[in-house]
Every structure is written in C-alpha cells, then in structure tokens.
Amino acid sequence: MPVLPAAPTRRAAAGIAPPLRRGTRSPAEDEPASGSSAERALRLLAVAAHEGRALPLAELAVRLGLPKATAHRLCSQLVESGHLARDIDERCYTVGPALRRLALDTLNHGVLRGLRHEVLAALVMRVGETCNFTTLDGAQVLYLDRVEAQWPLRLTLDVGSHVPLHCTASGKLLLAHRPEAEREALIGQLSLTRMTRHTLTTAKALRAECAAIAAGDHSCDREEFIAGLIAVAVPVRNAAGDVRAAVALHAPSARMSLAQAERQLPALKEAALRLGSLL
C-alpha cells in the first residue's frame, strides 16, 4: 500500500530509521557532549530516531553525556515543538509528529524519491494493478508513494494519507514485524474498528494474524478494509535486515482474486529488495 532534523541520516526517518542494535552506539553518541543548545537538541533527536523505541530521560542523558537537568530541558522544548513526544510511560520519549513530517518531506524530495517511484512504476507495469510504498507512523500506516494502474475502477489515496493498521495488508505486516513489546503496545492503542464483515476486531485474532504473517513473510487484506478490495504486501528491509517499510499490491476482487494476487508475490519481493537499497 500506499513518505526526519538535519542531524539524522535519511534512514533516520519517520518509521524508516533503523533501530539501534543493543550494544551499538548511534553516530550522535560519538560526538562530544559540549556544544550549543541547538547542537545538543539535534544530537538528542538523532539518538531518538536511530534507536526506534521510546527512551527514558535518564538513558538519554547518560548516552549523550548530558546532565539530567539539561536533557530534561531539551526534551521539554522538543515535545513543545512536536519533534519529540511522550510515550505511554510519560517518563519516556519517542519521535514526534513534527519529526515524522520532516522525514516525509525529506523522503519525498530529490533523486531517491524518483528512483523509488520508478521501482513502483515498473512493478505496476508488471503486475497490472496499483502498488504502493508505506511505512509505520505511530499507530497508523503512512503512504510514502503510490502508482495507479490504468483501470477505471480503482481506489485513490494520496501520498501522505493514513490508513489503519489492523485491517490493511501493509498495516498488519508492519505490525507483525515490530518487536513484541512494541507490537503489544500498539495493539493496546488500536480501536479495532469493524470496517467490513471480514475485519479482525479482537486483539487475540490480530495477534494470531501477526504470527502467521511473520512466519509467511507476507500479508493479505481479505476485503478487511474496504468491501470488494483485496491486497497483498511484503516487507522492505534496510541493509541491517530490519523491516522499515512495505510494498503492496491492491485490486478490486472482481478483477483479481486473492489467489491471483498472491501469485504476484515474487514480483513484489523483487521490488521490495530494490526499494530496500533506496531507503
């Protein structure tokens, strides 16, 4: 289905930032603790984006070599500006909506975006149906790019649109590939609204679906979001092998059955490999 301040690299973007592996350090942590308030704020955001999880204030202070009071002041300012947000546990901080918007603007600009769009366009030519490139944005799916098939009957969603996690192929796939603790926290936030008679509306059913998706490495939308619309999605991995996005095909069930869509998985996986090199 149908993307974060200057200090993070282009991979340190809203949902496309690689999580910091345990025992490794982000580039910002290797810089000296001294510097202006702006430099400290940028380093703090770089660590938050690189890590991919909510970080306690005490851990941020230690990892950046800052006094706890200084780290608290910076976090408060960044929360106020929207670049950071408090997690469910209010002692922890994660990337905020302003940082995600900056990532979206960055990822939609320049050569890389054009190259990703070319991959999607070639995929649409091959499979004959609309394809999109998405990532996780909080508890929703964010459309990073999309190429429409040339059919009169189609669903149009603009780049920057959000769709639910629990009833879309990309959403369920991205949810399935999150660490268990994060996945459980996200499931706890979801309203699990019934969109069609096929929508999964219980946490138990959604957990079982996530387990099946992780095992099979692809996800299906069985008319769960919109009646008469099916979709399949595969993961897009970065160089470290982390799932940072998804590429999906969707089509009206009157034109393509789910079984026919699943036969396009090899083409989707080839495109996902190419897109992974362009994160």
Helix or strand run (H / E) with residue 190: none
Percent of the chain with pLDDT over 90: 54
| pLDDT of 101 above 80 | no
| pLDDT of 132 above 90 | yes
Percent of the chain with pLDDT over 70: 81
Q: Greatest CA span in the chain, whole angstroms?
A: 62
- According to the model, what pLDDT value does residue 71 have? 92
| pLDDT of 209 above 50 | yes
- According to the model, what pLDDT value does residue 32 have? 45
**Highest mean pLDDT pick, 79-88, 136-145, 203-212:** 203-212
Distance CA 224, CA 222 (A): 5
| pLDDT of 195 above 90 | yes
Domain parsing of the chain, residue ranges: 27-95, 108-276
Do residues 245 and 144 touch, judged by C-beta distance below 8 A?
Answer: yes
Do residues 144 and 106 touch, judged by C-beta distance below 8 A?
Answer: no
CB neighbour list of residue 260: distance below 8 Å, 6 or more residues apart: none
Tell me the CATH number for domain 108-276.
3.30.450.40
C-alpha neighbours within 13 Å on the C-beta side of residue 24: 10
Task: List the one residue out of 274, 272, 279, 269 whose CA is nearest residue 238.
Answer: 279
What average pLDDT does the structure give for the chain? 84
> In which band, very low, low, confident or very high, does the pLDDT at 157 lie, cut at 50, 70 and 90?
low
Tens digit of each residue's pLDDT (9 = 90 or more) over 29-83: 444 444 578 898 999 988 888 877 888 999 999 999 999 999 999 999 999 998 8
pTM, entire model? 0.65
Q: What is the mean pLDDT of residues 226-239?
A: 95
Task: Walk across the sheet containing 219-222 and list its strands.
Answer: 162-164, 140-147, 130-137, 243-252, 229-237, 219-222
27-95, CATH topology level: Arc Repressor Mutant, subunit A (1.10.10)
- According to the model, what pLDDT value does residue 257 have? 96
Distance CA 206, CA 211 (A): 9
Distance CA 153, CA 228 (A): 11
Question: DSSP letter at 29?
Answer: G
Q: What is the mean pLDDT of residues 247-268?
A: 96
Distance CA 60, CA 66 (A): 8
Distance CA 169, CA 219 (A): 5
